[in-house]
Chains A and B, each alone.
Chain A
Amino acid sequence: MSYHFGRGREKLIPYLLLLPGIFFYLLISVGPSLATTVYSFTDATGIRGAPIHWIGLDNYKEFLLMGQASRDNYGALGRTLIFSFFVTTIQFALGLIAALAVNQRLKGSNLFRTLYFMPVILGAVIQGLIWSLFLYPMGGPMAKILSLFGARSEFLGGQPVEAFAWVIIVQIWANMGMTMVIFISGLQTIPAELYEAARIDGANARQVFANVTWPLLTPSVNTNLLLNIIGSLQAWQLFLVLLGYRNGTQVLGYVIYAQGFGQTSGSVTSAFRQGYAAAASVVLFLLVLVIGMTVQTFLRRREERILGS
């Protein structure tokens, strides 16, 4: 590969231009990540000036091997994977359907694009508030709908499985707009002539989708899948806002927050365990890394097979 920045010292120009970005990336992202790894081997509380002791692998042993708490951590790990699977697949499918629908040149499609995307710009607190009101068990809209069928539910405050399912729904609602936008951008790069040619050849709508749209959406598919997987594996804010620290609902991201900031008790603030939370963060990072790399490898091969290298 060659570039056009001349010869000799001028070759340095692109590297110099990259330096500020690299510096801030290292300072804001890589540095704290490495520091988190270092902290995971300590009993740090997060209080500056408090003594920090090197405790080796104790945090990891506690997180992975110590008593029922470690088995509860595996439960959180399992829920993280379940959450990620349902969020990724459903959000992906709904985002694609919505993109195909609003990408038509129909009256009002811009309005629907805005409506579908709107939840993305709301923060987790606002999203949580909206759904808490919607699912208010004493006369909220959903309770009224259920009452028409003679049923009732505690929704977010009831059975952990049901509460967990509602968080999946809210997560999808909150982020589906972003998936849709990425798909729309992919759809708009597909040349109109290809659709025209396919129709002239007699292809029906299903065949056009399977043989034109879907293959040429591959870059958007890859981007969406990776973003959805990584985003859902790291999710925790909606769990905090909608459920708080409730047995049978925690995912790994929320366990990290709760341990790091003393929110594990429910009624009193317990000690901040940021060394332990750092160890849990490293475990989550490894989980995201393994799943992310595996999926990325699969997607790259698929892309090469469909679009060529």
Chain B
Amino acid sequence: MGHLMIPVTRKDQPSRTTERVLILEPGRAERHYWRDLWTYRELFAILAWRDLAVRYKQTAIGVAWAVIRPILSMLIFTVLFSRVARLPSVGHAPYAVMVLAGMLPWFLFSTILNDASISLVTNSNLISKVYFPRLIVPSATILVAVADFAITFALLLLIMAWYRFFSDWRLIFLPCFLLLAILASLGPALYITALNVKYRDFRYIVPFILQFGLYVSPVGFSSTVVPAKWRLLYSLNPVVGVIDGFRWCLLRGESEFYLPGFFLSLCAVVVWLWLGTSYFRKTERTFADLL
């Protein structure tokens, strides 16, 4: 067993001057929280990668599900809103393409909300055994949602090719809107995640919120069908701005950009992000006691 006790070379040890003294006191707000978050960025990457690996390793259905779900929803919405309710599309864009363009951010939103809300409970063995900024756990679910997003996006490209309807230069703004969609999801997701630790029956409410959200957000229809005088109020829903943005950049401007509404949605995103993060930070310290 002698080989196990090789003295460690000095350079492996962090020098004593860099050691900081950590002070634990009741109610002490962690001053280095955001710096800690940065130190633990690798944990974020690893957890996100783990979720992704598990999702696509466990089942071939994992991939199939990411394809089938948007296609089926697209078909249903197209038939329901276009054929039955006879709602107009935006400009000359085919209705199915418009629906799918709205579904892209919506599925991102719902996947993040759903996965994040249960993430702390499913990782409770970690939470009760190791310290790290808890914000990492719900945030790490983003990667899986983005992977699903990529699949849906590929699908959209195929369907666009089928309709011979292509996007234009506006497509380069897609990453910005993707980022916006992620931020818009993160705020409510963090709030719900924290609530879900405290009130374990909250998870029964999440599917309801999502189902409700699907119909109050312009996923199956264009936000232009909303009467003009309600449009601004409607934009208080942060998802509205995101979906409008996606349609603007994917449907080569067939959907015009409603700027006041967009800015209002942007504000809603920021407010939610602030609410979610601060509530999460406030309750975070008691997670280990509750789980």
Please say whether chains A and B are actual partners in one complex. Answer: no
Residues of B within 8 A of A (CB): none
